[in-house]
Homo-oligomer: A and B are copies of this chain.
Amino acid sequence: MSQRTIGVTEVALRDAHQSLMATRMAMEDMVDACADIDAAGYWSVECWGGATYDSCIRFLNEDPWARLRTFRELMPNSRLQMLLRGQNLLGYRHYEDGVVDRFVEKSAENGMDVFRVFDALNDPRNMARAMAAVKKTGKHAQGTICYTISPLHTVEGYVKLAGQLLDMGAQSLALKDMAALLQPQPAYDIIRGIKETYGEDVQINVHCHSTTGVTLVTLMKAIEAGADVVDTAISSMSLGPGHNPTESLVAMLEGTEYTTNLDADRLIKIRDHFSKIRPKYKAFESATLVDTDIFSSQIPGGMLSNMESQLKAQGAGDRIKEVMEEVPLVKADAGHPPLVTPSSQIVGTQAVFNVLMGKYKVMTGEFADLMLGYYGECMGERNPEVVAIAQAQAKKEPITQRPADLLEPEWEKLSADAAKLEGFDGTDEDVLTYAMFPGVAPGFFSTRDEGPKNVGKTAEQLKAEADAASGAANAVRGPIKYKVSLGGRDHSVTVEMA
């Protein structure tokens, strides 16, 4: 039987620790796995993106560009892959095209090979410039479809979007399922639809999270439909809000007409490496093993907990049910954006406001911008009555052009501003860091010399905790100072283990 080889993208170095441990993994905890990852036979190694970049400078005192160069050096035979939020780059606003070009150029120069370009609203205009810039560098431009469920999102609609991405020059397509919403049958239908419409040789990569427990089946159906590459995480960095285990994918395909051709011995080494590392970051892990609520609520888990804490802060923790009923209404008014960063926060916060203060009585600036087109277009039409309210409250006109078309060239100003910062090293890379994270970059530049920080626990701390958990904590190790009342008199007493 001739077998079709399925490519695998290993996400342990980026999305896995982003999803499982709040992106806190330090570079020093990854380097020892790189040789095995490089030799295991992956199609690509995802290792860079917005959250890892942010975490590097915010928590780890690591230069994200140095991290990228280290990956390049340690994995010379691999395609390095990143996730790029289109016109937002790795930041939280739209950048002018010149900045987009510069970022892509520098990323390619520092070693990036595959750019997975996406936009939270699936607006192709927000992806076009970044894709063009990637193609100019000769690297791999992958166009992305963010998967969501709504009355407007149909198989046909996704197939049409795929065509727009291919027209823009995408060399492959990613079907991105960040909420683990992609069920087996629609995965099959969308991939079949794309292949039948645009040709069987259109490369399709499938990215699923494992939150709902169902998406390894989704990968199976995707492969049966013709998917070429799928994303997984080595088992010791898998499951829960993360991804399906790489080794389970391998086992799933044994005996079928598909194979991964991954090196089993390398996978064991990679797994063993991260099973030693993972406990260090336990404090950052969520307890979620599996959560299928999203299929009925349509509300991602992270968004729900955000709304709950907003309500609690207002002393209205008991109104979460009303807010959950409000979310689909607000989402429909906004034209059914996928609920993913940043639209999930924008829609969620507005739903909270509507419940607490009355329907659109108070609109957040971000929600007004969303209604007025400043984030781009989504699949559905926006409710004109709510657009009018946004216009009145924000005192801004709605736009129909590509949002970035409103921006003036900004590279010179960004460079000049960055140059004033203590510790700025004069490189374009530093300007980009400042451009994307203007609030965090100054602090990072000024402390960069101190070198990387590891926020994971040390072996000693882990041992102490294990001892504590096993009952040793019942004893006070001390020394601890107590106020002790004896016979009506207070004494200052210091206690420690004898």
Partner of A184, one of B220, B239, B477, B480: B220
In the complex, residue of chain B having the shortest beta-carbon distance to the beta carbon of A468: B473
The digit string for A473-490, where 1 denotes a CB below 8 A from any CB of B, is 111111111111111000
Interface residue? A151 (CB, 8 A): no
Is A498 a contact partner of B483 (Cβ separation < 8 A)?
A: yes
By a beta-carbon cutoff of 8 Å, the part of chain A in contact with chain B is 183-186, 212-214, 216-217, 220-221, 235, 238-239, 244-245, 247-248, 250-252, 254-256, 264, 268, 289-293, 295-296, 465, 468-469, 473-487, 491-498
CA distance A290 to B283 in the complex (A): 20
Is B476 a contact partner of A496 (Cβ separation < 8 A)?
A: no
Is A255 a contact partner of B186 (Cβ separation < 8 A)?
A: yes
In the complex, which residues of chain B have a beta carbon less than 8 angstroms from the beta carbon of A255? 183-186
Q: How far is the CB of A279 from chain B (nearest CB, A)?
A: 9
Residue from the set A245, A264, A484 with the largest chain B CB neighbour count within 10 Å: A484
Is B213 a contact partner of A245 (Cβ separation < 8 A)?
A: yes
Is A473 a contact partner of B473 (Cβ separation < 8 A)?
A: yes
In order of increasing CB-CB distance, the 9 nearest A-B pairs are A213-B248, A185-B255, A247-B292, A483-B498, A485-B494, A214-B248, A213-B245, A214-B252, A214-B251
CA distance A212 to B239 in the complex (A): 12
Is B482 a contact partner of A495 (Cβ separation < 8 A)?
A: yes
In the complex, which residues of chain B have a beta carbon less than 8 angstroms from the beta carbon of A183? 251-252, 254-255
Report how many copies the assembly holds: 2
In the complex, which residues of chain B have a beta carbon less than 8 angstroms from the beta carbon of A482? 476, 478, 495-498
Is B289 a contact partner of A185 (Cβ separation < 8 A)?
A: no
In the complex, which residues of chain B have a beta carbon less than 8 angstroms from the beta carbon of A481? 498
CA distance A484 to B493 in the complex (A): 7
Q: In the complex where A214-B216, A238-B213, A468-B468 touch, is A292 in contact with B251 (Cβ < 8 A)?
A: yes
CA distance A483 to B290 in the complex (A): 47
Residue from the set A247, A254, A480, A486 with the largest chain B CB neighbour count within 10 Å: A247
Partner of A486, one of B185, B468, B491: B491
In the complex, residue of chain B having the shortest beta-carbon distance to the beta carbon of A491: B486
Q: In the complex where A184-B256, A248-B214 touch, is A239 in contact with B476 (Cβ < 8 A)?
A: no
10 further A-B contacts with Cβ under 8 Å, apart from A213-B244, A238-B289, are: A184-B256, A185-B254, A217-B217, A235-B289, A235-B291, A474-B477, A481-B498, A482-B497, A485-B495, A486-B493
CA distance A295 to B235 in the complex (A): 14
In the complex, which residues of chain B have a beta carbon less than 8 angstroms from the beta carbon of A495? 482-485, 493
Is B473 a contact partner of A212 (Cβ separation < 8 A)?
A: no
In the complex, residue of chain B having the shortest beta-carbon distance to the beta carbon of A213: B248
CA distance A400 to B376 in the complex (A): 78
Is A292 a contact partner of B498 (Cβ separation < 8 A)?
A: no
In the complex, which residues of chain B have a beta carbon less than 8 angstroms from the beta carbon of A465? 469
Is A247 a contact partner of B476 (Cβ separation < 8 A)?
A: no
| 25 contacts across the A-B interface (CB closer than 8 A) | A183-B251, A185-B254, A186-B255, A213-B216, A213-B244, A213-B245, A213-B248, A235-B290, A235-B292, A239-B289, A250-B292, A251-B292, A251-B295, A264-B296, A468-B473, A474-B477, A475-B476, A476-B480, A479-B485, A482-B495, A482-B496, A483-B496, A484-B495, A486-B491, A486-B493
Q: How far is the CB of A321 from chain B (nearest CB, A)?
A: 13
In the complex, which residues of chain B have a beta carbon less than 8 angstroms from the beta carbon of A256? 184-185
Residue from the set A184, A244, A254 with the largest chain B CB neighbour count within 10 Å: A184
In the complex, residue of chain B having the shortest beta-carbon distance to the beta carbon of A478: B482
Q: How far is the CB of A179 from chain B (nearest CB, A)?
A: 12
CA distance A486 to B489 in the complex (A): 13
Q: In the complex where A248-B214, A256-B184, A498-B483 touch, is A238 in contact with B476 (Cβ < 8 A)?
A: no
CA distance A293 to B13 in the complex (A): 22
CA distance A250 to B295 in the complex (A): 10
